[in-house]
């Protein structure tokens, strides 16, 4: 699809991704990268004994950071030279992601605005957890795409 045609999709769901596993290894790597090795994320033995989830859980920011990866095959534009993560609004983490769970992204294109040399897209993103009716992350994501 060409960038000029994206306006017609405003207000519609543009894609739902495949399920993606959130492994303990991924959680541990994220903890190391962010210096956030709290036991609820990185200590399976303690989490089993003390956590209300019965196991370790992913960081909320880990699930949030997956938005960019999950979006890669949702809306592909032919004439984009550069895609920039411009920011987020209204981020919430209403549910935990247990280690070993699978998540997927649901993307609604809420707005498309013309900018110099491109467009700014605003997506309503819901990250779902397999087997749960309650999402783990809900956010409004702003992406700038340039010709």
Residue range 58-107, pLDDT digits in tens: 999 999 999 999 998 898 888 899 999 999 999 999 999 999 999 999 99
pLDDT at 7: 93
pLDDT at 77: 86
What is the spatial distance between Cα 21 and Cα 98, in angstroms, rounded to a whole number?
10
What is the spatial distance between Cα 126 and Cα 64, in angstroms, rounded to a whole number?
10
What is the spatial distance between Cα 60 and Cα 36, in angstroms, rounded to a whole number?
11
Confidence of residue 130 (pLDDT cuts 50, 70, 90): very high
- Which residues contact residue 33 at a Cβ distance below 8 angstroms, ignoring those fewer than 6 apart? none
pLDDT at 115: 96
* Domains of the chain, each with CATH number or no CATH: 3-22+58-146 (3.10.129.10)
Q: Contact 96/69 with Cβ under 8 angstroms?
A: no
pLDDT at 112: 97
2-12 tens-digit pLDDT: 888 899 999 99
pLDDT at 105: 98
What is the spatial distance between Cα 52 and Cα 89, in angstroms, rounded to a whole number?
29
What is the spatial distance between Cα 105 and Cα 89, in angstroms, rounded to a whole number?
17
pLDDT at 76: 85
Residue 19 confidence (pLDDT) above 90: yes
pTM, two decimal places:
0.92
Q: Contact 130/137 with Cβ under 8 angstroms?
A: no
Q: Contact 32/135 with Cβ under 8 angstroms?
A: no
**Average pLDDT over all residues of the chain:** 96
pLDDT at 15: 95
Q: Contact 58/22 with Cβ under 8 angstroms?
A: yes
Confidence of residue 120 (pLDDT cuts 50, 70, 90): very high
Query: Exposed, middle or buried, 90 (CB in 10 Å: 0-12/13-18/19+)?
Result: exposed
């Amino acid at each position: 699809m060409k960038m000029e045609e994206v306006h017609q999709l405003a207000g519609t769901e543009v894609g739902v991704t495949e399920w993606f596993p959130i492994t303990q290894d991924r959680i541990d790597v994220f903890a190391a990268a962010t210096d956030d090795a709290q036991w609820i994320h990185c200590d399976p033995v303690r989490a089993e004994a003390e956590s209300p989830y019965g196991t370790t859980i992913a960081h909320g920011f880990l699930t949030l950071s997956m938005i960019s990866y999950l979006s890669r095959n949702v809306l592909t534009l032919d004439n984009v030279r550069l895609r920039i993560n411009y920011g987020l609004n209204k981020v919430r983490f209403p549910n935990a992601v247990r280690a070993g769970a699978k998540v997927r992204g649901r993307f609604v294109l809420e707005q498309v605005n013309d900018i110099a040399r491109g467009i700014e897209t605003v997506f309503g993103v819901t990250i779902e957890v397999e087997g749960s009716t309650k999402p783990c992350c809900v956010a409004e994501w702003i992406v700038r795409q340039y010709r």
